[in-house]
Structure 1
Amino acid sequence: MIILAMDSSTSACSAALWSEGRVLAGRLSPMARGQSEALMPMVAGVMAEAGLSFADLGLLAVTVGPGAFTGLRIGLAAARGLALASGLPLAGVATPAAVAAGISGEERRGRNLLVVLESRRDEKWMQLFDSELNPLSDIRALPPSQAGELAAGPVLVAGDAAPLVQPHLPQGVVATAAGYPDAGVVAALAAHQWAQGRSLPPEPLYLRDADVTLPGQSAP
C-alpha cells in the first residue's frame, strides 16, 4: 500500500510518499509560518517525483496534534480536502508519537524520551515515552518549569520546544534529530496503526484541557 502523509502541526512543513518500509519521495522544510502556501506544492512535488497519481494510493495520513493551532488546522484541512476529492481513507497520527518515532533507536537507548511541542502559549505540549516508544504518560500541557513532573532522571528531550525545558531537567539532553515530524515517519506510523485498526480519527488534538487523553487511553 502506498501512503501519502503530510504534517504542518509544528514549526515545519512536510509531505512524503511511503510504501512497504521505504520513502518513495519526501519534502521537509522548517518554517515558523507559511505552511498554507507550502504544503500543497510539497504534495504536488512528491507526487510528481514518484510519478504517481491519487489512483495509485491506498491511504492518506496527517498529524492531528497537539501542536500550533494554525499549522494544525492547515494540515487537517488539506488532508480532508484530498480525502474528499480522491475518496481515499484518511488516518490521523498524534504529533508527539511522530516526533518520538523520528529519533534513532541508538539515541533513545537506555533512557526515556520526553517530547515537548510548541503551543504558542505559556504551557507546552508534553508526552513521555520509554526507549521503545511506548507512551508513559498522556499528552499534557505544562509550563517548561514543570517538565520534571513527567521526566525524572536521565531523559532525552525532543520537539520544537525542547530547548525551553532542558534547563529544568538536570539530567535532560536535547536530541540531535530535528524537533518536528517527518512525513515519512508519519506514513510509517499510519501504516502500522492502520493495520492494527487503531488509527486516530482525522480530528485535531489542540484541546485546551490541561491533560489530553487519546482514544483508547484512560485518564490519569
Structure 2
Amino acid sequence: MIILALDSALSSCSAAVIKDGVLLSGVFEDRLRGQAERLLPLCQQVCTAAGVTFDQLDAIAVTRGPGTFTGVRIGLAAAKGLALALKVPLIGITTLEVVAHQAANALEPSFAGQVAVAHDARRGEVYYQSFAVANGALSAVSAPMAVPLNVVADHVNDNIKVIAGTGAGLLRDHLPEKVLSGLLFPDVQQQPTAAMIGHMAVGRFSKAGSSDTVTPLYLRAPDAIAATPITYPFQNQ
C-alpha cells in the first residue's frame, strides 16, 4: 500500500510517500506564504524521490485543520483534486492528532498520562485538545476547541503532563507556576509533518472515505469578514 501524505494547514508545507508503513521520501518546509504554489510540486518531488508514480498511489492523506483558513483550504483542495483524479480514497487527519502523536513518540514507552496540543490560533486563542497516552496508543480525551488564552488554565488539569504544538510556548505565560512545574514541553516538531500523517493514515486506510466525505475542521469564524456594502446617493435615484 502506497500513501501520499501532505499538509499546509499551519505555517509549513510538507509531503511524504509511505509504502507499507515505511517512509520512502519526505520534505518539510517552514513557510507562511507560497503554499499554494509549492504544495503540488512537493508532492511530485517526493514521488519522484520514492520512485513512485501518481497512478501507483493507493490513497491520499491530508490534514483537515484546525489551522489557518487559507492553509487548510490549500491542502484539502490539492488532496481532493488528486484523490478524485486518481480515483483513490482520501484520509483526513487533524493537525492536533498529528502533533499529539509526534510528541508521544518522543516520550518514554512507559509514559502514561495525557498530552495536550495547543496551536496558535491568533487573536489571543489557541486550538486545543488533550489526548490520553497508554502503552504507546493515543485516544482523545476532549474535543478540539478554540480556547482563549486567558482561560486556558481551566483546561490544563492534573492529568496533563505534556504540552506540544505551535502555541505551546504561549501557554507558559498563562499557566500558574505550580502547573508549569509539572509539565513537559518536548523538543519535537510542533507542526504536523507529512511523514507522521502518512504513518497514521496506514492504520486508518480501512476507514478511508471519498473526497466528498473529508471536510475541513474550522473551530471559529474566519478572521476576514465581508466588507460592509456602501450605497451611494445616485443609487437611490
Short-chain TM bin: 0.7 to 0.9
Deviations 1:52-105 (A, max 9, x none): 111211000110011111111110111111112211211111111011111244
* Structure 2 equivalent of residue 36 of structure 1: 36
Secondary structure of the residue aligned to 1:39 is helix
Give the TM-score normalised by structure 2.
0.81
C-alpha distance in structure 2 between counterparts of 1:72 and 1:18, whole Å: 22
Paired residue for 1:137, among 119, 133, 142? 142
Name the counterpart of 2:167: 161
Q: Identify unmatched segments of 5+ residues in structure 1.
A: 210-220
Aligned 8 A contact 2:13 2:39 in 1: yes
Aligned to 1:186: 197
**1:91–1:199 Cα contact (<8 Å) kept:** yes
Partners of 2:21 and 2:122 lie apart in 1 by 34
User: In structure 1, what is the equivalent of residue 74 of structure 2?
Assistant: 74
Seen in structure 2, the aligned counterparts of structure 1 residues 73 and 120 have a Cα distance that, compared at 3 Å, is farther
The residue number in structure 2 matching 1:208 is 220
**Secondary structure in 2 aligned to 1:134?**
strand
Across the aligned residues of Structure 1 and Structure 2, the Cα RMSD in angstroms comes to 1.9
Equivalent in the alignment of 2:156: 151
TM-score (norm 1): 0.87
Identity over aligned pairs, percent: 37
Q: Mean Cα displacement is larger for which, 183-192 or 168-177? A: 168-177
1:65 matches 2:65: yes
Larger CA Rg, structure 1 vs 2? 2
Spell out the pairing of 1:36-55 with structure 2 (5 A cutoff). 36-55=36-55
| Distance 1:155-1:98 versus aligned 2 partners, 3 A rule | same
Distance 2:94 2:219 in 1: 13
| Cα distance, 1:192 vs structure 2 | 1.0
Q: How far off is 1:194 after superposition?
A: 2.4
Moved runs in structure 1, 4+ residues, more than 6 A?
Answer: none
One-letter amino acid matched to 1:33 = R
Q: How many residues align?
A: 208
Kept after mapping to 1: 8 A contact 2:104/2:133:
no
Aligned with 2:186 (options 158, 175, 186) = 175
- Spell out, residue by residue over 1:100-137, the C-alpha distance to the aligned partner (whole angstroms, 9 max, x if none): 11124452624321101122333211000122421110
Distance 1:161 1:54, change over 3 A: same
Q: Secondary structure of the residue that 1:107 maps to in structure 2?
A: coil
Equivalent position of 1:26 in the other structure: 26
Kindly state the Cα deviation for residue 40 of structure 1 after the two structures are TM-superposed.
1.2
Aligned with 2:217: secondary structure?
Answer: coil
| 3-state SS in 1 of match to 2:205 | helix
Tell me the amino acid that sits aligned with residue 100 of structure 2: A
Matched position secondary structure for 2:184: strand
Shift of residue 184 of structure 1? 1.3
> Cα–Cα, structure 1 residues 129 and 199, in superposed 2: closer, same or farther, change >3 Å?
farther
Could you list the runs of 5+ residues in structure 2 that have no partner in the other structure? 222-237
> Structure 2 counterpart of 1:144, which letter?
L
